[in-house]
Amino acid sequence: MAPIMFVLLFLVVAAVVVFLAGIRIVRPKQRGLIERLGKYRCFAKSGFNWVIPQVDRMNQVNITEQITDGT
């Protein structure tokens, strides 16, 4: 095989790994807060979301109602 084929294969494998590393799943009773470089970017809805690895960070927040005793 030519050396160019090894380089192309490496680039394809690296792209697939980066894509899979960025997948985040948000459950229906949660909401995801996406920060880009530590600054608020947006809220993620339920389901599959993709973030840029090492640049974006997602914090998942539980949004279910909690009942407390009023006494």
pTM tops 0.75, yes or no: no
Q: What is the pLDDT of residues 3-36, one digit of tens each?
A: 899 999 999 999 999 999 999 999 999 999 999 9
Instruction: Report whether 56 contacts 35 (CB < 8 A).
Output: yes
Q: Which residues contact 46 (CB under 8 A, 6 or more apart)?
A: 26, 27, 28, 30, 31
What is the residue extent of each domain of the chain?
Answer: 3-62
